[in-house]
């Protein structure tokens, strides 16, 4: 470390003007010392006055600057290996994966069970839609409660209620209960879905802080979500077709209970609650404003509805297509191909060092997704549908990852779990609406008409993003300028 006297790097003739014609003394390359004048007490005083060319520079100040190390290695680019070596990460990653796995089975298990007992995709889609809407409406409140009171306090009762509600829905469906009874059981089933994904993302935020690894963590979480959507539909289809129609929903309830309790037991990595932060000397939040009050979050919520329309439309339409060709077992394979494309593109996105602004990446991602989804309804063969499904899946991950990355800068740390649950809830709400509409289209129109739903949803999301993309910029943070550093007025120092 070397201490440099920061003086104007101007020619002697120009430096001489403020000091009555006396030139400054050159003490090094580009470094000058102004002539000193003694006061009546004999104390030397440096007179520093900035010229027009020098505004923004502290004159006569001595600052310490780090000397660049020779042959210093370049910092490692953030990657998955560095992320997974983060201290304490595995303590919540493994339980988190186990706890979020059942969610990928829920909608498809309901559709297959209710369609088997009623013979109608419309009724099955409506029941699944009630579950999705209920989850979308209650998920943000679950996230807010987790921010205030802790994740464990929300998870433990939530998974207990979900298991009981899921088993009740299964029993009613097998008993050929009326539609209103199925809806009554579907509401608590959806409302109690544990929001493990947003909770894991919030734990990454606490663990990493402002590290560049946060974008890699967002990509990793998207890949993990898609891995569950590869395994989940395959498992649900296998259980419902090879074991029993109710096996998928029963397994989902059991796995949710076990995985949720296991994740809730990891108390060391959960974010601090607002009360704990206030008691520990932190800054307590003055007003409990919702994360939805941020304009950028509202834009992302609307665009994530489009992603949900892809998931819901694909689930119902693929199930109807495979049944129409007499191969219902292919449903899980086709949906797994779609989810695999999503997962693979997520891996690539997380490994790349992006130079494009996230707002622009989001716009490009939704443009590609809308174009790919617009071709789904034209497919009439298994191979073509698998190829298009793979392409659509590959277009989803960039949009999801970028959206979750943007929300990190839009809301404060104390509201991130709620913000993440708004996005998750938007996907669930879009999925629920898509399941309902696609089911009606498959029942009333031609086979494959349900694929029009992903096209319409993504086009509407793209139009919203094009119109309101300026609201996705992070709010400016207040900055304190130190006296004598970048200050416009001149300061005399000894």
CATH number of the domain encompassing residue 338: 1.20.1250.20
Instruction: Say how far apart CA 419 and CA 115 lie, in whole Å.
Output: 34
How many structural domains does the chain have? 2
- Distance linking the first and last C-alpha atoms of the chain: 22
**Which residues in the chain land under pLDDT 70?**
1-78, 272-289, 292, 350-354, 412-414, 474-494
Q: Does residue 489 belong to any structural domain of this protein?
A: no
Q: Does residue 339 belong to any structural domain of this protein?
A: yes
Query: Do 158 and 245 sit in the same domain of this protein?
Result: yes
Is 229 strand, coil or helix? helix
Query: Do 51 and 119 sit in the same domain of this protein?
Result: no
CA distances from 263 to 117, 206, 256 (A): 34, 16, 10
Query: Do 86 and 133 sit in the same domain of this protein?
Result: yes
Inter-axis angle of helices 151-174 and 179-191, nearest 10: 160
Quote the pLDDT of residue 316.
82
Q: Does residue 481 belong to any structural domain of this protein?
A: no
Instruction: Say how far apart CA 70 and CA 49 lie, in whole Å.
Output: 35
Quote the pLDDT of residue 283.
45
Query: Do 175 and 236 sit in the same domain of this protein?
Result: yes
Query: Do 93 and 123 sit in the same domain of this protein?
Result: yes
Quote the pLDDT of residue 6.
44
Q: Identify the domain boundary among 20, 37, 64.
A: 64
Query: Which domain range does residue 11 map to?
Result: 2-64
Cβ count near 293 (within 10 Å): 10
Quote the pLDDT of residue 26.
52
Instruction: Say how far apart CA 445 and CA 344 lie, in whole Å.
Output: 34
Instruction: Say how far apart CA 258 and CA 229 lie, in whole Å.
Output: 19
Query: Do 197 and 244 sit in the same domain of this protein?
Result: yes
Instruction: Say how far apart CA 371 and CA 253 lie, in whole Å.
Output: 37
Q: Does residue 492 belong to any structural domain of this protein?
A: no
Query: Do 326 and 356 sit in the same domain of this protein?
Result: yes
Q: Does residue 450 belong to any structural domain of this protein?
A: yes
Token pair, residue 26, equals 């050159």
Quote the pLDDT of residue 161.
93
Query: Do 163 and 196 sit in the same domain of this protein?
Result: yes
Quote the pLDDT of residue 33.
52
Q: Does residue 277 belong to any structural domain of this protein?
A: no
Query: Do 105 and 245 sit in the same domain of this protein?
Result: yes
Quote the pLDDT of residue 485.
36
Is 268 strand, coil or helix? coil
Helix (H) or strand (E) holding 267: none
Token pair, residue 427, equals 């996907």
Quote the pLDDT of residue 476.
54
Query: Do 159 and 31 sit in the same domain of this protein?
Result: no
Query: Do 16 and 56 sit in the same domain of this protein?
Result: yes
Q: Does residue 279 belong to any structural domain of this protein?
A: no
Q: Does residue 36 belong to any structural domain of this protein?
A: yes
Instruction: Say how far apart CA 418 and CA 139 lie, in whole Å.
Output: 8
Query: Do 51 and 96 sit in the same domain of this protein?
Result: no
Quote the pLDDT of residue 234.
78
Quote the pLDDT of residue 315.
81
């Amino acid at each position: 470390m070397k201490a440099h006297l920061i003086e104007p790097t101007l020619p002697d003739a120009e430096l001489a003007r403020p000091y009555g014609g006396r030139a400054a003394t050159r003490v090094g390359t580009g470094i000058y010392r102004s002539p000193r004048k003694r006061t009546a007490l004999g104390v030397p005083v440096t007179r520093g006055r900035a010229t027009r060319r020098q505004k923004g520079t502290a004159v006569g100040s001595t600052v310490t600057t780090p000397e660049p190390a020779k042959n210093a290695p370049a910092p490692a680019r953030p990657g998955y290996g560095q992320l997974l070596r983060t201290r304490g990460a595995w303590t919540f990653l493994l339980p988190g994966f186990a706890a979020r796995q059942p969610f990928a089975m829920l909608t498809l298990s309901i559709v297959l069970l209710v369609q088997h007992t009623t013979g109608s995709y419309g009724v099955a889609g409506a029941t699944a839609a009630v579950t999705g809407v209920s989850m979308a409406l209650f998920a943000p409140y679950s996230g807010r409660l987790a921010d205030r009171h802790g994740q464990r306090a929300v998870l433990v009762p939530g998974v207990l209620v979900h298991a009981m509600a899921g088993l009740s829905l299964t029993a009613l469906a097998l008993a050929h209960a009326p539609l209103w009874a199925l809806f009554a059981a579907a509401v608590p089933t959806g409302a109690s879905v544990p929001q493990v994904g947003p909770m894991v993302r919030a734990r990454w935020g606490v663990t990493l802080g402002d590290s560049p690894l946060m974008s890699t963590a967002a990509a990793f979480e998207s890949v993990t979500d898609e891995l569950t959507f590869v395994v989940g539909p395959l498992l649900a289809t296998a259980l419902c077709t090879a074991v029993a129609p109710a096996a998928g929903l029963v397994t989902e309830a059991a796995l949710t209970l076990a995985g949720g309790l296991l994740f809730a037991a990891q108390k060391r990595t959960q974010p601090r609650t607002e009360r704990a932060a206030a008691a520990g000397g932190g800054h307590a939040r003055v007003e409990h404003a919702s994360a939805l009050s941020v304009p950028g979050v509202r834009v992302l919520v609307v665009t994530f509805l489009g992603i949900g329309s892809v998931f819901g439309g694909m689930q119902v339409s693929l199930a109807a297509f495979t049944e129409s060709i007499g191969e219902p077992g292919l449903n899980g394979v086709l949906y797994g191909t779609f989810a695999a494309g999503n997962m693979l593109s997520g891996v690539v996105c997380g490994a790349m060092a992006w130079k494009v602004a996230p707002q622009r990446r989001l716009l490009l991602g939704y443009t590609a997704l809308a174009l790919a989804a617009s071709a789904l309804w034209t497919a009439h063969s298994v191979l073509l549908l698998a190829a298009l499904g793979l392409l659509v899946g590959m277009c989803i991950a960039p949009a999801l990852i970028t959206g979750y990355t943007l929300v990190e800068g839009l809301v404060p740390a104390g509201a991130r779990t709620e913000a993440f649950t708004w996005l998750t809830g938007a996907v669930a709400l879009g999925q629920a609406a898509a399941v309902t509409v696609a089911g009606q289209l498959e029942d009333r129109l031609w086979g494959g008409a349900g694929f029009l739903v992903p096209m319409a949803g993504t086009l509407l999301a793209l139009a919203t993003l094009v119109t309101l993309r300026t609201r996705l910029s992070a709010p400016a943070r207040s900055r304190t300028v130190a006296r004598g550093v970048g200050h416009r007025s001149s300061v005399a120092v000894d």
